[in-house]
Amino acid sequence: MILETIWFFIWGLLWAIFFMTDGFDFGVGTLYPFLGKSEDDKRAMINSIGPFWDGNEVWLITAGGVTFAAFPKVYAVMFSTLYAPLMLILFALILRGVAFEFRGQIDSPGWKRIWDLCIFIGSFMPAFLFGVVFANIFRGIPFDGQGVYHGNLLMLLNPYGVLGGLLFLLLFLLHGANWLGMKTDGDLNIRVAAVADKIWIALVPTAVLFLIATWFATDLYANYLANPVFFLIILCSVLSIFVVKFYLVKKDYFSAWCASATTIVTCTFFGIAGLFPRMFPSIIDPQYTLTAFNSSSSPLTLKIMLGVVVVFIPIVIAYQMWTYRLFQGKLTEEEMEY
């Protein structure tokens, strides 16, 4: 019981770290065509996330891998029922990944435009689709006892799903704007500041609406009513959104970025705490729902993997933080070349 519970929260934590890290580069990539007026602007935006995006994306691989290792049944049913959106996310990530590398290889506007488009789509689609997918998981997915999906891609785009997608998108956009505020200066920085304000104004009502809609569309709040202490998560989340605004006004983008990181992590845990112990609820019949207790690996595997995660994830965090320190601050002239 305890082992499965620990693993459930590690599972949630890995998703939260993935959204927190890859989230800002998704945000930057989505803002990219709108804020990148000149070639210099574009170069600055790409190079601001250049050293990080690849390492950030591995958190997705790790979240997926850990689902496979610790909850094989969840991995199997989740990934096969969500076949279509996952494939879209994968194709988006593939195009985005090569775009960063290919774009600068040939000096022609047409060539660059193709990869600019790939950077945009490759950042926008995962940001939106992860939101859609997670909102639908909160709501429940139509699958039966055999793990067969009874639905299609469009069914995921129900109002609550789309709202979840919008929420994720706005969170990542704000997170990305804070990052750009921290890394850029001059004219681009002024435009970033203006857009960050607009995103914030759109985010607040979306977040409130999502919290209300969750009451009607899901039963996440059952856990909250049973353990009122969980409401602290929502409180932190809402507070951190206002802290972002506070630092945006002060033009302290590093603190604003830390605050938006907190928002993303607490938002993820808002869902995780509400789901517990469910990992992949079925909307057809609750008896098909996959939980941390009916889908986990054997105790031996859980113990071995716990050892691996407890030792190595802190090491990963340590060297990734070293990378962030190494490339901290505004982009300098010499970081502009590639």
Partner 1 sequence: MDPVFLSRLQFAAATMFHFLFVPLTLGLSIIIAYMETRYARTGDKLYLQMTKFWGKIFLINFAVGVVTGITLEFQFGTNWSRYSEFVGDVFGSLLAIEASLAFFLESTFIGIWIFGWKKLSAKAHAAVMWMVAIAGNFSAIWILTANGFMQHPVGYTIRNGRAEMTNFFELLFNKFSILQILHVLPAACILAAFFVMGISAWHLLRKQHIEFFQRSFRIALVFGLAASILTGLTGDLHGTHVAEVQPAKLAAMEAHWETQANAPLILFAIPDEKAGKNIVEFGAIPGLLSFLGYHDFSATVRGINDFPEDERPPVLIPFVSFRVMVGLGTLFIFLTLYGWFRRNKLMESPLYLKIMLFSIPLPYIAIELGWVLAEVGRQPWIVYGLMKTSDAASPVAGYQVLISLVAFIAIYGLLGAVAFYLMAKHAIKGPAVEKP
**Residue 197 interacts with partner 1 (CB under 8 A)?**
no
Q: What is the rounded CA–CA span in Å between residue 177 and residue 165?
A: 18
**Residue 290 interacts with partner 1 (CB under 8 A)?**
no
Q: Which is nearer to partner 1, 40 or 187 (by Cβ)?
A: 40
Segment interacting with partner 1, rule: CB under 8 A, options 235-243, 256-264, 271-279, 310-318: 310-318
> Shortest distance, CB of residue 313 to partner 1, whole angstroms?
6
Q: What is the rounded CA–CA span in Å between residue 166 and residue 258?
A: 21
Q: Which is nearer to partner 1, 146 or 287 (by Cβ)?
A: 146
**Residue 102 interacts with partner 1 (CB under 8 A)?**
yes
**Residue 142 interacts with partner 1 (CB under 8 A)?**
no
> Shortest distance, CB of residue 34 to partner 1, whole angstroms?
24
C-alpha dihedral (286, 237, 326, 97), degrees to nearest 10: 40
> Shortest distance, CB of residue 198 to partner 1, whole angstroms?
30
**Residue 104 interacts with partner 1 (CB under 8 A)?**
no
DSSP per-residue string spanning 285-321? -GGG-EETTTS---HHHHHHHHHHHHHHHHHHHHHHH
Q: Which is nearer to partner 1, 259 or 292 (by Cβ)?
A: 292
> Shortest distance, CB of residue 127 to partner 1, whole angstroms?
16
Q: What is the DSSP letter of 143?
A: B
DSSP per-residue string spanning 173-228? HHHHHHHHHHH--HHHHHHHHHHHHHHHHHHHHHHHHHHHHHHHH--THHHHHHSG
The site string for partner 1 over 35-74 (x = CB under 8 A, - otherwise) reads ------------x--xxxxxx-xx-xxx-xxxxxxxxxx-
Q: What is the rounded CA–CA span in Å between residue 284 and residue 13?
A: 28
The structure tokens listed for 11 are 């599972």
From residue 260, give the alpha-carbon distance in Å to each of 199, 263, 320.
12, 5, 19
Q: How many residues bind partner 1 (CB under 8 A)?
A: 67
**Residue 6 interacts with partner 1 (CB under 8 A)?**
no
Segment interacting with partner 1, rule: CB under 8 A, options 176-184, 195-203, 261-269, 314-322: 314-322
Q: What is the DSSP letter of 332?
A: P
The residues in 143-182 that bind partner 1, with binding defined as CB under 8 A, are 146-149
Q: What is the rounded CA–CA span in Å between residue 225 and residue 235?
A: 15
**Residue 312 interacts with partner 1 (CB under 8 A)?**
yes
Q: Which is nearer to partner 1, 86 or 283 (by Cβ)?
A: 86
Q: What is the rounded CA–CA span in Å between residue 62 and residue 171?
A: 22
Q: Which is nearer to partner 1, 147 or 213 (by Cβ)?
A: 147
Residue pair 278/290 in contact (Cβ under 8 Å)? The answer is: yes
**Residue 95 interacts with partner 1 (CB under 8 A)?**
yes
15, 100, 130, 230: which one binds partner 1 (CB under 8 A): 100
Tokens 């996952």: give the residue: 86
**Residue 107 interacts with partner 1 (CB under 8 A)?**
no
From residue 210, give the alpha-carbon distance in Å to each of 145, 150, 167, 238.
30, 25, 8, 12
Which residues of the chain form contacts with partner 1 (CB under 8 A)? 47, 50-55, 57-58, 60-62, 64-73, 75-80, 83-84, 86-87, 90-91, 93-95, 97-98, 100-102, 105-106, 146-149, 297-298, 300-301, 304-305, 308-309, 312-313, 316, 319-320, 323, 326-327, 334-335, 338
